[in-house]
Amino acid sequence: MSPADTERANPGPKDIAVIVTGAARGMGRAMTLGLAAAGVRVVAADLPSSHNEMAEVLDTALKQGGQNRIAPIDCDVTQWRDCTNAAKSAIDRFGAVHGLVNNAAVGMQGFGHVQVGPRAKFYEHDVDAWRRAIDANVNGPFMMAKAVAPALVAQGWGRIVNIVTSHFTMVMDGFSPYGPSKAALEAATLIWAKDLAGTGVTVNALLPGGPGNTRMIPLAEVADRSTLVQPEVMAAPICWLMSKASDGVTGHRFIAKTWDPALPPSEAAEKAGAPAGWEVNAPKPF
C-alpha cells in the first residue's frame, strides 16, 4: 500500500471527506455544518431548487470558519448519473471519499396532514406521488451507496449512515409511504453492514428521535417549533459516526435526541445506540 493509500485508509478528522444528501435544509443542513465545524470536508448535495438555502449554508459556514470545507453540488438522488457524479466530485475536490450520509428524503407533507388532523389512507394516495417517495427514500440511498461503496472498500475504510425514523413512525396509521420507506432503509442498513463486514466500511442508521423541526412538519400544524426535535441534535452523533472513534461499530441505529453531548462520545453512543432493524438480541459492540 502506497503512502497515499495508507492516508486514505486511515484518515484523520481533517482528512475525512463525506457526502451529505439533502444538505441544504433541516437535518442535512445541521449535519453539514456540524461536520464542517469539526474539520470534515463535505460535498453538500441537494436539488437545483435549493440554491438559495445552500447559499445560506455556505454563509453560515463562513462565519464558523468552515466554508472552504463545503463543496455544494446539484444532485437528484433518484438519478443514477447524479449519484455517480457526487462520488466523483468528492474525489476530484478532496482527493477521496470516506463517507456518505443518506439524508435526502420525501416526507408526508405532500400527502395530507402530518401531525394535526386526519391523515389520508394509503389507498387514497396518488400512485405517481407514492412512486416518487419510494424512489427518493429507498432507491436514492441505494444508488448513492452503490456509487460510493467501491471506493470505500478499495481504501479499506469508510462510513455509510442512513437517516431513518422511529420504529413507531414506521408503522403509524396514515404514514404510508414514508413509514414503509424508512423501514426498508433501516433493513437495508443491517443488510449492507453484513455485506461490508470485514472491509473496514461500517453502515449505521441515525434518527432524530421524534418529529423534527423541518419542513416535513408544516408550520400550519405546529406553530410552536420548540416542541419539536431541533435539527442540531444530529451534529454530535454524525461527527462521531464519521470518525475513526466509531471503528468497528456497524449495523446499529442511534437516536440523536438521547445522545448526551456532556458524556464522552463513546459513552453517549452506547446510551443512544441499539442494533439496527429488529434484531433486539444482537450484542452491542461497544
- Using alpha carbons, select from 107, 43, 106, 100 the residue that is nearest to residue 75: 43
pLDDT at 285 over 60: no
- pLDDT tens for each residue of 36-70: 999 999 999 999 999 999 999 999 999 988 768 99
Which pLDDT score, from 0 to 100, does residue 45 have? 98
User: Rounded CA gap, 244 and 10, in Å?
Assistant: 8
> Tens of pLDDT along 244-269?
999 999 999 999 999 999 999 999 99
DSSP-assigned beta bridge partners for residue 89: none
80-112: per-residue pLDDT in tens?
999 999 999 999 999 999 999 999 999 867 777
Q: What is the pLDDT of residue 116?
A: 66
Give the model's pLDDT for residue 109. Answer: 77
pTM (2 d.p.): 0.90
> What is the pLDDT, as a whole number, of residue 226?
82
Query: Secondary structure of 102-167 in the HEC alphabet?
Result: ECCCCCCHHHCCCCCCCCCCHHHCCHHHHHHHHHHHHHHHHHHHHHHHHHHHHHCCEEEEEECCCH
- Percent of the chain having pLDDT more than 90? 72
- The pLDDT assigned to 3 comes to 40
Q: Give the pLDDT score at 281.
A: 54
* pLDDT for the residue 33: 97
208 pLDDT exceeds 70?
yes
pLDDT at 286 over 50: yes
Before 11, cis peptide (omega within 30)?
no
Cα 232–Cα 205–Cα 249 angle in degrees, nearest 5: 105
Instruction: Give the model's confidence band at 19: pLDDT under 50 very low, under 70 low, under 90 confident, else very high.
Output: very high
Residue 39: per-residue pLDDT: 94
Backbone angles phi and psi of 84, in degrees to 5: -65, -35
Q: Three-state SS across 18-61?
A: EEEECCCCHHHHHHHHHHHHCCCEEEEEECHHHHHHHHHHHHHH
Note the residue count of the chain.
286
CB neighbour list of residue 102: distance below 8 Å, 6 or more residues apart: 21, 77, 140, 141, 144, 145, 160, 161, 162, 163, 185
CB-based contact 78:104 (threshold 8 Å): no
Q: Is 41 exposed, middle or buried (0-12, 13-18, 19+ CB in 10 A)?
A: buried
227, pLDDT greater than 90: no
Return the pLDDT at 238: 98
Alpha-carbon gap, residue 18 to 44, rounded angstroms: 9
**Residues 15-32: what's their mean pLDDT?**
96
The pLDDT confidence band at residue 4, using thresholds 50, 70 and 90, is very low
- Rounded to a whole number of angstroms, the CA Rg of the chain reads 18
Share of the chain above pLDDT 70, in %: 88
